[in-house]
């Protein structure tokens, strides 16, 4: 079984797209529909190697999810996967300990490369 990656996005299609890219590359995929759902899953599953997280989501946005995860002592690496590209937001995510920022739409090969690098995985 490959490293477990959780994708947090309110768009079902985006989640499916990420799963369709990373699943065949050898990763074990988990999905969450917003920051609140993602945080619950992150707290209950200890084996998540990386979180790919949208920023603009209902109920709880991705930056808030990252902030709360760190506040609760969760150190899982985050990569923000979003349409946002504003330098202030990127700096905010970085200051909260995010490991990367990907602007949608993304290329499948670059996503795989980034996830492999950040999970230290040679899966696929």
Partner 1 sequence: MKAAFIDVLDSITSLACIDVFGSYRVGLRELPRPAKGNLIPNLDKEADGNASLVASVVGFTGDDLRGALLLATTFEVIARARPSGLAQQSLSKDSYSDWVMVRDWASELGNQILGRIKNKLRPFNVVLEVSTPTAFSGRALAFAKPKSPLARPFLFDTRGDRVWLWLDASFDPRQVLVSGSEESAKEGDVILF
Binding site for partner 1 (CB under 8 A): 10-14, 16-17, 20-21, 56-58, 82-87, 90, 94, 98-108, 110-111, 113-114, 117-118
- Could you tell me the smallest distance in angstroms from the CB atom of residue 67 to partner 1? 16
- Could you tell me the smallest distance in angstroms from the CB atom of residue 105 to partner 1? 5
Beta strands at 78-82 and 4-8: parallel, antiparallel or unpaired: unpaired
- Could you tell me the smallest distance in angstroms from the CB atom of residue 73 to partner 1? 20
Closest by alpha carbon to 48, among 8, 89, 18?
8
**DSSP type of residue 11:** -
CB nearer to partner 1: pick between 20 and 45: 20
Q: State the number of CA atoms in the 13 A half-sphere of 101 facing the CB.
A: 20
């Amino acid at each position: 079984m490959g490293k477990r990656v959780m994708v947090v996005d309110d768009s079902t299609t985006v989640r499916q797209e990420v799963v369709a890219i990373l699943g065949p590359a050898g990763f074990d995929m988990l999905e969450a529909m917003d920051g609140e759902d993602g945080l619950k899953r992150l707290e209950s599953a200890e084996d998540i190697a990386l979180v790919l997280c949208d920023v603009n989501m209902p109920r709880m946005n991705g930056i808030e999810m990252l902030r709360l995860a760190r506040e609760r002592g969760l150190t899982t690496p985050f990569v923000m996967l979003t349409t946002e590209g504003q330098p202030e937001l990127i700096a905010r995510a970085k200051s909260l300990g995010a490991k990367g920022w990907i602007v949608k739409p993304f290329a499948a090969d670059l996503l795989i490369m980034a996830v492999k690098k950040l999970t230290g995985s040679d899966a696929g």
